Amino acid sequence: LVNTAMAVAVAPGEVSWSTKASLQVVGRPLDRILCTVPKTLEITSVESTGLDSWQLGETPNDPSRTTITLAYRQAFDGSRDIQFRGVLKAASELAWDVPSLVFNDITSQVGIAEVRYPAGIRLRVGELDGVRTVVSQAATAENGDSLLHFQIWKAGFRLPFVTEPKTREVRAAVTN
């Protein structure tokens, strides 16, 4: 069982992504975990208690995804948290998807996603799959950024956006 909490921060031409995955291992202890992310996401760090190493590699049956192999010093069972960080290469005014983190050989994977964007950006949500908007939790952060919240119930969810700059008009009167 995996419960994920994703945080996505949008800026013009750039999207930063972080995910905390709470993994619950029951039965056979694990010392190696495989998961995948889209190739458009560049993973910058992975942190977890007892993690010996992590490696990125090709995904044999899906060339659009990258496999992350997590190797632990010692096999474990019970709960374990894993923190992933990365950067999505998204250009302004282009459609992009929130990157999905998919664990191999996991019975159930659910989670939440928070998308944060500044006042100068308009974010249009596309057609959702495996995710729903939490309307009651649309909010504004303390620094003025807008926040959108979503619930995820499908590992390979689709949460698409289009990022556009808000058009602004400036008027000035100049006198001598």
Question: Distance (Å, rounded) from C-alpha 117 to C-alpha 85?
Answer: 18
Give the pLDDT of residue 145: 84
Give the torsion through C-alpha atoms of 32, 80, 75, 69, to 10 deg: 10
Q: Name the average pLDDT for the chain.
A: 88
Instruction: Give the mean model confidence (pLDDT) for residues 151-172.
Output: 82
End-to-end alpha carbon distance in the chain: 71
Tens digit of pLDDT for each residue in 3-58? 999 999 988 778 899 999 999 998 899 999 999 999 999 999 999 999 999 999 99
Q: Is the pLDDT of residue 94 over 80?
A: no
Residue 159 confidence (pLDDT) above 80: yes
Is 69 within 8 Å of 34 (Cβ atoms)?
yes
Q: What is the DSSP letter of 144?
A: S
Task: In whole angstroms, give the CA distance from residue 65 to residue 96.
Answer: 15
The residue behind tokens 């992350």 is: 68
Residue 78 has pLDDT above 80, yes or no: yes
What is the residue-wise DSSP string for 87-121? EE---TTSEEEPPP-EETT-S-EEEEEEEEE-TTE
Using a cut of 0.85, tell me whether the model's pTM lies above it. Answer: yes
Contact 7, 18 (CB under 8 A): yes
Q: Which residue has better confidence, 29 or 138?
A: 29
Q: What percentage of the chain has pLDDT greater than the value 70?
A: 91
